[in-house]
Every structure is written in structure tokens, then in C-alpha cells.
Amino acid sequence: MHPIEQLRFVARSRGVDSGLLVEEAADALGFFANEQRALITACRQLLSRQPGVGPLWWLCNRLVLAKNPRVEARLVLEDCWQFSATRHLETVELNTETVVVIHTDAAGTDEPVMAGGSDVSRQSLVSSDTIRQVTEAETAGLAVWLVMGPGVWLPTLVWKEIKARCDADSRTDLVVLDLDRVDGVLGPDGKVTPDQLAPSTMPVAPELLVRLN
């Protein structure tokens, strides 16, 4: 498949596993490795169509800031494959009658509303069906665990931009879930509680925060 067609597939996809989208996008964006301006344009177009997929933001930012985008694309894919291999069994183990396992493709922290405030709001984007699962689990007294793959936990700048774009696109299929409703998180760093999630240190390419007209 031609790289442009691959990017169109990723841009149009709905309900597709984010790992597959990253794999297809990484392969296609490598086509622009020697043309920085074209790479930035392709990334901006892709993110305008898939604003709620955190791993695509992670991929695009890493490629745009990399000295060698092709090498960086391979490193991104290795991170994804390693997570899939090492965390699959842990996810299966969580699927018991006393634990509800949910997934997200984008999450991050919001800065305090008041200047100098210390409270940090940790949030994620989930489907409306997932919100229903969480509510039912709370009613039944079951623990809720959130699975976050590589590239899902994002810097505040990117996280706020994702929410703003989803609102602008009227994405009613995605809802913000406060992570204080979650008992644990299974991510690249293993099993942690939500309050152990420090703000993401992922570098951000400012040009990717500019929206297309």
C-alpha cells in the first residue's frame, strides 16, 4: 500500500486498535523522513483526523523531533511490541470476577485551576460504554483497573489540546473519566495507583499543536 493510502486508512479508522494505527502510521510517516516540512504536514493532518488517539501524538512528536525519523519509528514500534508482550499476561490476570478492566487511548493531567494550587486532576478519555462499566463496578463494589499502553500518558499541553479538539469535533463517543474513580493503572512502568502517575515528560513539538484551518 502506498504511504499516502496508509495514512488515509489511519485517518478514517474508527474503533480500530491504537497499536495497529501506530504501526501503520509509523510505516507511512517514514516515507517523509527526509522532508521535514512534509513530515510535519502529514502529522498535523493525521492528528486533525484522530485527535483522541494518544499514541499517534506520541509517535508524531517523536518523529518530528528526531534526528532520524525512520530509526525513531522503529524504536516506537519496539516500545509498543514490548508492552504487548510483557503486559498481556498481567491484563489477563486482572480479568477476574472481582476486577473490571478498562482501556484508554489518551490520558494526562490538568493543571490546577487556581494559580499556585497543588491539586492535579488526572484524567483519561474513554467510551461512554466504559463509563457505564465503571459506574456498574462502583455500585457492585468491584475494583477498576485502567490499561494504558505506550504513548497514552501525555503532557498537559497535549492532553488539553486533545480534549479541546474532541470537543470541537463534537466527539460524543469519547468521555472524560477522572482517574480518582480508578483503583489501579497498568502501564509501561507496571502496576501503579493513579496518584503515582507523575506528569508526562514526553517532549512536545509546538508545530503539532497548531490546528489546520
Residue 211 inside a domain? The answer is no
Regarding whether 154 and 69 lie in a shared domain, the answer is no
Asked if 208 contacts 56 with a C-beta cutoff of 8 angstroms, the reply is: no
Cα-to-chain-centroid distance, residue 174: 13
Can you point out the beta strands (E) in the chain?
99-103, 106-110, 121-127, 143-147, 153-154, 174-178, 184-187, 190-192
Regarding whether 105 and 71 lie in a shared domain, the answer is no
For the segment 23-60, what is each residue's pLDDT rounded down to a tens digit?
A: 999 999 988 989 999 999 999 999 999 999 999 999 99
CA angle 79, 80, 85 (to 5 degrees): 100
Regarding whether 181 and 79 lie in a shared domain, the answer is no
Residue 212 inside a domain? The answer is no
Average predicted confidence (pLDDT) for the chain:
89
Regarding whether 153 and 92 lie in a shared domain, the answer is yes
Q: Tell me which residue has cell 499543536.
A: 209
Residue 32 inside a domain? The answer is yes
Question: How many angstroms separate the CA atoms of 81 and 67, rounded?
Answer: 23
Residue 128 inside a domain? The answer is yes
Which residues form the domain of 79? Answer: 3-85
Query: 115 in helix, strand or coil?
Result: coil
Regarding whether 124 and 168 lie in a shared domain, the answer is yes
User: Where does a domain end: 52, 85, 118?
Assistant: 85
Residue 66 inside a domain? The answer is yes
Asked if 69 contacts 32 with a C-beta cutoff of 8 angstroms, the reply is: yes
**How much helix, strand and coil, in percent to the nearest 5, is found in the chain?**
55, 15, 30
One-letter amino acid for residue 156 of the chain: T
CATH number at residue 29: 1.20.120
The β-bridge partners of 147 are 103, 186
Domain count, the chain: 2
Q: What is the mean pLDDT of residues 9-18?
A: 88
Residue 192 inside a domain? The answer is yes
For the segment 54-113, what is each residue's pLDDT rounded down to a tens digit?
A: 999 999 999 999 999 999 999 999 988 888 766 655 666 777 778 899 999 999 998 755
pLDDT, position 114 = 52
User: Where does a domain end: 85, 112, 144?
Assistant: 85
Asked if 205 contacts 166 with a C-beta cutoff of 8 angstroms, the reply is: no
CATH number at residue 134: 3.40.50.10470
Give the CA distances from residue 13 to residues 8, 10, 82, 120, 153, in Å, rounded to whole numbers and listed in that order: 8, 5, 24, 33, 21
Whether the predicted pLDDT of 115 surpasses 90: no
CA atoms 40, 42, 48, 54: torsion sign: negative
Regarding whether 69 and 109 lie in a shared domain, the answer is no
Regarding whether 110 and 80 lie in a shared domain, the answer is no
Regarding whether 189 and 170 lie in a shared domain, the answer is yes
User: Where does a domain end: 85, 108, 128?
Assistant: 85
Residue 29 inside a domain? The answer is yes
